[in-house]
């Protein structure tokens, strides 16, 4: 049997992403020992019941002590607190990473706090569901999904390659880019869609009772899928918008301009403009399916029950 990539893996946070990493790392023999840390004792006990690790603790420093790889799976706004807690106990040569959806802020919060001789390689697996907590994770979450690494300019190439191999071992496809470029890309592919979903569902929630009940009762697939997105972890998404505000506001400005153009076309009865726009956007959907990032099956591959 091949040696694991990392002898001791410490997971700071054991929600959807952390618990999925634990399951996939175990299933693929990527870590010799898995340490699970979370601040709530009841969540830690549930992780123990699920058998997600070998060692369990509520103390971040205790979890990171002696670890070869530390992955922080926490809301972006908590990154500096993690770095402060684990920095004094990190062993030379250890790799520290994260899974946050914003990278520039994570680098700003963590890089200066970590000691010399420790490799800091931020990462972002583009995978998830609307569910949270240790029960939500599953080993296949990262299969054929992208994980973006955003190493700093002076990062050790061997450490970056090793973390890349780890994510590939979890089933992910790995890409590398700068933190700044990552934040712009994710602003339009993830953050703005979530903001729109929260806003649309919030508009429905603010309607008078009779209309709101009918919106829920007769929700078509578009609104229904928005509600799935809008059911995501509010703490995580609050931090994402606060910590990627520049990129989000830039992309939101572009979106607003395009929305205004569509509004004008509808008002003027300009069917040609609407048709051209809708035809062009269909190509984006085809590209996503061709990249293997979604299914072309009708109704998004939903399983239908026979009645």
Q: Assess whether 34 and 155 both reside in one domain.
A: yes
Tell me the C-alpha distance between 265 and 242, whole Å: 33
Domain end (from 157, 177, 197) = 177
CA angle 162, 30, 111 (to 5 degrees): 45
Confidence of residue 295 (pLDDT cuts 50, 70, 90): low
Q: Assess whether 208 and 158 both reside in one domain.
A: no
* 172-204 pLDDT per residue, tens: 999 999 999 999 999 998 899 889 888 888 888
For residues 47 and 57, the answer to whether their CB atoms sit within 8 Å is no
Domain that holds residue 218: 181-293
Of 138, 163, 155, residue with least CA distance to 23 = 138
> For 152-164, what is the mean pLDDT?
97
Confidence of residue 294 (pLDDT cuts 50, 70, 90): low
Q: Residue 307 domain-assigned?
A: no
Q: Residue 25 domain-assigned?
A: yes
Q: Residue 298 domain-assigned?
A: no
Domain end (from 177, 206, 227) = 177
Q: How many helices (H) and strands (E) in the chain?
A: 13, 9
Q: Assess whether 262 and 128 both reside in one domain.
A: no
Q: Assess whether 57 and 137 both reside in one domain.
A: yes
Q: Assess whether 61 and 26 both reside in one domain.
A: yes
Confidence of residue 222 (pLDDT cuts 50, 70, 90): confident
Domain end (from 177, 209, 237) = 177
Q: Report residue 9: phi and psi, to 5°.
A: -105, 125
> For 204-226, what is the mean pLDDT?
75
CA angle 68, 65, 177 (to 5 degrees): 45
Give the three-state DSSP class for 98. Answer: strand
* 46-69 pLDDT per residue, tens: 999 999 999 999 999 999 999 999
Q: Residue 303 domain-assigned?
A: no
Residues 269, 283, 182, 83, Cα dihedral to 10°: 100
Give the three-state DSSP class for 38. Answer: coil
Q: Assess whether 225 and 90 both reside in one domain.
A: no
Q: Residue 299 domain-assigned?
A: no
Of 270, 282, 22, residue with least CA distance to 138 = 22
Q: Assess whether 147 and 289 both reside in one domain.
A: no
Q: Assess whether 82 and 201 both reside in one domain.
A: no
Q: Residue 19 domain-assigned?
A: yes
Q: Assess whether 11 and 159 both reside in one domain.
A: yes
Of 225, 224, 203, 221, residue with least CA distance to 212 = 203
Q: Assess whether 135 and 216 both reside in one domain.
A: no
Q: Residue 68 domain-assigned?
A: yes
Q: What share of the chain is helix, strand, coil (3-state, %, to 5)?
A: 55, 10, 30
- Please give the pLDDT value at position 90: 98
Q: What is the CATH number of the domain that holds 88?
A: 3.40.50.720
Q: Assess whether 38 and 153 both reside in one domain.
A: yes
Tell me the C-alpha distance between 66 and 91, whole Å: 6
Strand partners for 37 = 12, 57
Q: What is the pTM of this model?
A: 0.83
Of 13, 53, 16, residue with least CA distance to 37 = 13
| pLDDT at residue 303 is higher than 50 | no
Radius of gyration in angstroms for the set of CA atoms belonging to the chain, rounded to a whole number: 21
Q: Assess whether 31 and 172 both reside in one domain.
A: yes
Q: Residue 226 domain-assigned?
A: yes
Q: What is the CATH number of the domain that holds 207?
A: 1.10.3660.10
Q: How many domains does the chain have?
A: 2
């Amino acid at each position: 049997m091949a040696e694991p990539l990392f002898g001791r893996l410490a997971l700071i946070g054991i929600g959807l992403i952390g618990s999925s990493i634990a399951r996939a790392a175990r299933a693929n023999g990527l870590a010799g020992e898995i340490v699970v840390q979370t601040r709530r004792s009841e969540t830690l006990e549930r992780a123990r019941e699920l058998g997600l690790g070998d060692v369990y603790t509520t103390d971040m420093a205790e979890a990171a002590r002696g670890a070869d790889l530390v992955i922080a799976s926490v809301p972006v706004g908590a990154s500096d607190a993690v770095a402060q807690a684990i920095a004094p106990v990190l062993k030379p040569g250890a790799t520290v990473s994260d899974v946050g959806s914003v990278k520039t802020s994570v680098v700003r919060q963590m890089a200066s706090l970590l000691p010399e001789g420790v490799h800091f390689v931020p990462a972002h697996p583009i995978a998830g569901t609307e569910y949270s907590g240790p029960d939500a994770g599953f080993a296949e979450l990262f299969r054929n999904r992208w994980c973006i690494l955003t190493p700093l300019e002076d990062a050790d190439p061997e450490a970056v390659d090793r973390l890349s191999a780890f994510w590939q071992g979890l089933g992910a496809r790995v890409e590398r880019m700068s933190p700044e470029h990552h934040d712009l890309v994710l602003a339009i592919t993830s953050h703005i869609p979530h903001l729109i979903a929260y806003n649309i569902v919030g508009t429905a929630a603010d309607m008078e009772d009779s209309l709101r009940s009918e919106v829920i009762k007769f929700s078509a697939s578009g609104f229904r899928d928005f509600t799935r997105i809008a059911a995501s972890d509010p703490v995580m998404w609050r931090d994402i918008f606060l910590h990627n505000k520049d990129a989000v506001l830039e992309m939101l400005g572009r979106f607003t301009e395009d929305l205004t153009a569509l509004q004008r076309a509808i008002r003027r009865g300009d069917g040609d403009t609407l048709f051209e726009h809708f035809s062009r956007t269909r190509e984006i959907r085809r590209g996503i399916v061709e990249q293997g990032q979604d299914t072309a099956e009708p109704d998004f591959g939903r399983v239908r029950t026979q009645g």
